[in-house]
Amino acid sequence: MHAAAALLEFANVAYRYPGGNSGLAGCSLAIEAGTRNALIGANGAGKTTLFQHANGLLRPNAGIVRYRGQLIGYGREGLRQLRSEVGLLFQNPDQQLFSASVREDVAFGPLNLGLDAATVRRRVDEALHAVGMDDFSDRPVHSLSFGQKKRVCIAGVLAMQPRLLVLDEPMAGLDHAMRGDLLRVLDELHARGVTLLLATHDIDFAYAWADRIHVLAAGVCVASCASTELPRHAELLTGCGLRVPAVIRLCGALARNGLAFGNGAEPRSVDALVGLIDQEKES
């Protein structure tokens, strides 16, 4: 790992909630600029706690968090700087949307950045357009569906134009079509150079989508690897109570029966494997 290239870096971060619940217990991981990162882990593994550290909402009891090589400053100015570059999308949209109007909620962040009205208006329009909610800008928040609220939440973070976007289980509660929409938004952001970090329970999706996968268990990051290396960490996944991606198991079973497909590059989704099999038949 190249420490110099890390956009966000956790080193031995430990955090215990005031109630005594342990959140993180010496967690180290690095997010490199421009990459797509998936954070997987069972419920209670500390994903949300880790994310709140990324945005400076929580301050570690021990260990350090670095952003672009610099220690995070927890003073007013340091946090302002950090939060203007690291956007955080909460899991529950009703928790994130506190203004009653869509436009006002999306404008909240940019206005806090101290931008002028014209810039804010432009950013709000762009952000709402990016998530396909242009027609809803003057609607009250409570009249929206769950998926629409989620999109407004994303717009609210996008309007701040973060360098790193942290999404806490963005797919939870979305149907198949809405997941597709969200993925398109994320791909567009990635193409624009935004670094992405998302928590998910869907290991198949994580394997297909992410460049790097980080596995969290009991407040510790037990593995951080390129997705292509995940097949070699299968035992570790099972050890953490996580499932091994279906396509890895399928490929394994095929290989054991003398049916290896592709030339070295392993397919990262069932769809890709199906494509390879069809290709093989044609040739």
Partner 1 sequence: MLVDRYAYSNRWRAASPEAKATFAAGGFIAAFGAGRPSAALTVAVVMALVTIGGARVPLTVWLRVAVAPLGFLLVGMLSLVFSVDAVGDGALSLRWLPDGWEPVFRLGTRSIAALSALLFLALTTPLLDIVALLRRLRVPATLLDLMVLCYRTLFVLTDAAQAMRTAQAARLGYATARGTFNSLGLLLANLTVQVWERSRAMQRAAQSRNGDGAWRFLEHDGAMPHRELALALSGAVLLVAYAFGNP
Q: Does 48 bind partner 1 (CB under 8 A)?
A: no
Q: Does 83 bind partner 1 (CB under 8 A)?
A: yes
Q: Does 176 bind partner 1 (CB under 8 A)?
A: no
Rounded Cα–Cα distance for residues 117 and 163 (Å): 22
- Using CA atoms, how far residue 89 sits from 92, 129, 153, 187, 248, in Å, is 9, 18, 7, 16, 30
Rounded Cα–Cα distance for residues 50 and 58 (Å): 9
Q: Which of 12, 22, 28, 84 binds partner 1 (CB under 8 A)?
A: 84
Q: Which of 10, 23, 24, 52 binds partner 1 (CB under 8 A)?
A: 52
Shortest CB 149 distance to partner 1, Å: 11
- Single out the residue of 202, 223, 224 nearest to residue 270, CA to CA: 202
Q: Does 140 bind partner 1 (CB under 8 A)?
A: yes
Q: Does 90 bind partner 1 (CB under 8 A)?
A: yes
Q: Does 119 bind partner 1 (CB under 8 A)?
A: no
In terms of residues, how long is the chain? 283
Rounded Cα–Cα distance for residues 228 and 211 (Å): 8
Rounded Cα–Cα distance for residues 242 and 224 (Å): 15
Q: Does 134 bind partner 1 (CB under 8 A)?
A: no
Footprint of partner 1 (CB under 8 A): 52, 55, 57, 80, 83-84, 87-88, 90, 92, 94-101, 103-104, 107-109, 111-113, 117, 120-121, 124, 140-143, 156-157, 160
